[in-house]
A and B are shown apart, each in its own frame.
Chain A
Amino acid sequence: MEPHLQATKLNKYFKDQHVLKDVSFEVHRGEILGIVGPNGAGKSTTIRSILGIFYPDSGTITFEGKVSRHIPQHKLGYLPEERGLYRNERVMDILLYLADLKNYPQDKAKARAEYYLQKFGLEGKEKSKIEELSKGMAQKVQFISSVIHEPSFIVLDEPFSGLDPVSQDVFKQEIRNLRNSGASILLSSHQMNFVEEICDRLFLMNKGRRLLYGTMEEIKASYSDFKCTIKGDNHHLNLDHIDGVKHIERKERDTVLLLEKDVQPIDVLRQLPEETHITELHVDRISLHDIFVSIAQGGASDEE
C-alpha cells in the first residue's frame, strides 16, 4: 500500500548543530504513528519540517504519491505542543477563522464546530473568550481547531499534556475515531502508556536519529518480552552466566533482568544462585516505558 506520507533522509542543521540525521519514516493511511523520544531528540524539528513551518536542508517529503516541500496546508491538521489561541477572541470566531485559513467552507465549519463543542462538553461556550475558559477547555478548543476542516493528515504534538483523566479518555477516543474514519495521524508524546495504547506503529528517535521503527509488537519483540525485577541486596552477585538474559540493569536495591525473546521467566529464575537475596520479585511484560528509558539512557553514550 502506498504510504500517505513518506519522509526520506531528512537532514536539518541549526547553526553548526546537526539536529536531524537522515531521518526517514512513513505514515500509512488510516494509522496512528507514534513519534517518541526524549527532550531534544528532534521530534518537533521533524514535525515542523513536514509541516512546512521550516524546510529540511536535505531529504524529500512525498505526500499522496507526490514529492512536495510539505504537506498541503488544507489537508493538514496540527495541534502544536506550544498551546495557544487568541486569548481575547471568541471560541467560534477563532474556529471559523482557522477553518477559513484552511479553505474550509464556513457553514460546514460552523456545523462541525458546534458538533465538537457539544461532544467535548463545551456547548454554550461559543461566544466565550479563550481567556474566560479553563486550561482544559482551551485545550479542547485547540483540538477542535486542528480537526475542524476534516484534514486527511493530522499531527498531534503532546495531545494529552495538561488534561485530566476524563478528558484524556475523550481525546483518546476521538483520536481513534479520526483514525477509523480514514485520517492518518502522527502523534508525538512523552506519555508512553498512551502511545502504547493507541498507536499502531512507533518511531523512536534520539539525538536527531531514528533508533526504533515498526509496529508495537515488532519493537517489543526486538527488545525483550519479559523482565524480572529482584528487590534485595544483590549488587555483589554475578549474574552474567544466566542463559536467556539479554541485559541486566542495576539500580540501588533493584536488579532488573531483561529476558531474551521467547525465554520463559521460570527458566531464568531456576538459574538464580542460592545466595540471591530476594525481598520482592516481580515478573512483568516489558513496557514501552522501559524501552524508552533504556534507549534514552543508552543514547547518552551516543553523544557526538
Chain B
Amino acid sequence: MKNSWKVAKWEIRRNLKNKTFLVSIFLTPVLFLLFAFLPNVISSFDSGEEAYTLHVQDEIGIFPQLEDSVTQMGEHIAVQQIDDSPSILEEIKEDKTQGVLVLDQQALSEHRVTLYQGGEESPNIDLQHLQAVINHLFQQHTLTELGVSAEDVAMVQREVMLEQQNLVEDTADPMARIIPGAFAGIILFGVVMSGMTTFTSSTQEKKDKISEILLSSVSSTDLMQGKIWGYFILGIVQVFVWLAFGIPTAQIYFDIPVTDYLFEPKLLLLLVYAIGGYLLFSSIFVAIGATLDDMNTAGNFVGFIFMLPFLPLVFIGSIIGNPNGIIAQIVSYIPITTPSVMVMRLTFSNDIPILEIILTLALLVVSIWAAMKLAGKVYRTGMLIYGKNATPQEIIKWLRE
C-alpha cells in the first residue's frame, strides 16, 4: 500500500508538471462549452428564416381568415391570393421558397388539399400547423353553410385542453435529483477519461523499457494500484478544475442554484457508483495497456475497449424515459454499465428499490475485485514482454496461470 502511494504520487507529480496535461485540463471545459454552444451559434448565422410565399387560389371564400392565421405562423411567410394556378405553377417550379394552395369545392368536399411546392425540398413552414388552420376553416365554412350560427360554430370549434394531474404529488424538487446526478456524472466521466490514461502510462513505461527496473523495486500489484489511484486523483483534480468553471457559470449565467442542491445525501451514493466505475475501467485499461508494445499496431481491439465506458449511452433514451423499466433494470446488472446506468436511474427517479441498490453495489464490488485480480495477472506478465503485442490467446493463458 505504501509503495502504491509512492507510485501514485509519482504519476500525479509528473502529470501536474506536464504541460500537455495542464493544457488539456483547461482546454477540455472550453471545448465542451464550444461544442455545446457552437451548433446554436452556427445555426443563428444560418437562421433558416428564408422568406416564403404561399399563393392561394381560393374558390371557397376563406382567404381573409386564412391569411390572418397563416401570417401569424411566422414573419417570414407571405400569403398572396391568385386567380389562376396553372400559370404560376410553371413560374415557381424551381423555387423552393414558394408554394401554391388550391382551395376549391372539390378540396372542400373531399377534405383533401394539395400544396404544390417549388423545388424538391420541404417548404420552410410548419405544415402541421397549416393543416390545422385549413381544417379549422373548412369546418367553420361547412357549419356556416349548414346554417349554424357564428356563436355555435365558435362553441363547436373550441380546442380541448388536456391537463395532467398526478394523484401522488412529487414534492421533491427535481433539481435536488438532477444536480447531484449531473455532478456524479461529471465525476464519472472525468475519472473514466483519466482512467484511460493509465493505458498510455502502461504502454509508455513499456516503451521506455523501465518496467523491469520498477518491477524489481515494487510488486506488480503495487505498481498497478499506484497507477490506478494516481490517475484517480488526477481525474478528480481535473473534475474540480472543470467544476470551478462550471458551477459559477451555471450559478451566475444560467441562474441555477447548484450549491443549494449539491449536498444531498444521495450524492454520496452517486459518488460510490462513480468511483466504482472508475476502478473497474481503469483496471481494465491499465492491464490492456500492459499487453501492447506499440499503440499503432494495436488494431480495432483497443478501439473497442475504449468504447466500453460509453456503452450505456446506447440505453440513455430508455433509461431516462423509464428509469425502472425492464431495459434499465437489465443493464443495471451488467458490470460495465452498472455505474453509469445507476447514476442515470438515481438521477431520473426517486423510487429505485433499495434492494436493487444493494444488489448492484454488491455486483460492482465483486466485479472490481475480479477485474483487479485478472488485470494484475495480465499486467505482471504483459509489462515484461518487449517487442510485440500480446495476442488474445496469450492473454487468456496468463489469466489462467
Q: Which residues of A contact B (CB under 8 A)?
A: 48, 51-54, 73, 76, 78, 80, 82-89, 93, 97-98, 100-102, 142, 145-146
Tell whether A145 pairs with B384 under 8 Å between CB atoms, given A73-B218, A86-B208, A101-B218: no
Q: In the bound complex, do residue B208 and residue A98 qualify as a contact, i.e. CB atoms below 8 Å apart?
A: no
Nearest 8 pairs between A and B by C-beta? A84-B209, A101-B217, A78-B216, A80-B212, A82-B209, A84-B208, A51-B216, A84-B210
Q: In the bound complex, do residue A82 and residue B212 qualify as a contact, i.e. CB atoms below 8 Å apart?
A: yes
Q: Does B186 belong to the interface (CB within 8 Å)? A: no
Q: Which residues of B contact A (CB under 8 A)?
A: 3, 6-7, 10, 14, 18, 205, 208-210, 212-219, 380-381, 384, 386
Q: In the bound complex, do residue B218 and residue A54 qualify as a contact, i.e. CB atoms below 8 Å apart?
A: no
Q: In the bound complex, do residue A53 and residue B212 qualify as a contact, i.e. CB atoms below 8 Å apart?
A: yes
Complex CA gap A53/B217 in Å reads 9
Tell whether A76 pairs with B386 under 8 Å between CB atoms, given A83-B209, A100-B6: no
Give 8 new A-B contacts, CB below 8 A, not counting A84-B209, A85-B210, A86-B210: A73-B218, A76-B216, A78-B213, A80-B212, A82-B212, A84-B208, A93-B14, A100-B6
Q: Which residue of chain A is the closest to B386 with respect to CB atoms?
A: A82
- B-side interface mostly: helix
Q: Would you list 15 pairs from A and B whose C-beta atoms are within 8 A, ordered by A residue?
A: A53-B212, A54-B381, A54-B384, A73-B217, A78-B213, A80-B212, A82-B212, A83-B209, A86-B210, A88-B18, A97-B10, A98-B213, A100-B6, A101-B217, A101-B218
Complex CA gap A138/B101 in Å reads 83
Q: In the bound complex, do residue A85 and residue B208 qualify as a contact, i.e. CB atoms below 8 Å apart?
A: yes
Complex CA gap A89/B7 in Å reads 15
Tell whether A87 pairs with B208 under 8 Å between CB atoms, given A51-B216, A53-B215, A73-B216: yes
Q: In the bound complex, do residue A53 and residue B210 qualify as a contact, i.e. CB atoms below 8 Å apart?
A: no
Question: B residues within 8 A CB of A146?
Answer: 213
Question: B residues within 8 A CB of A93?
Answer: 14
Complex CA gap A73/B216 in Å reads 6
Complex CA gap A80/B210 in Å reads 9
Q: Which of B210, B384, B386 has the most CB of A within 10 A?
A: B210
Question: A residues within 8 A CB of B209?
Answer: 80, 82-84
Distance (Å) between the CB of A206 and the closest chain B CB? Answer: 23
Complex CA gap A102/B218 in Å reads 8
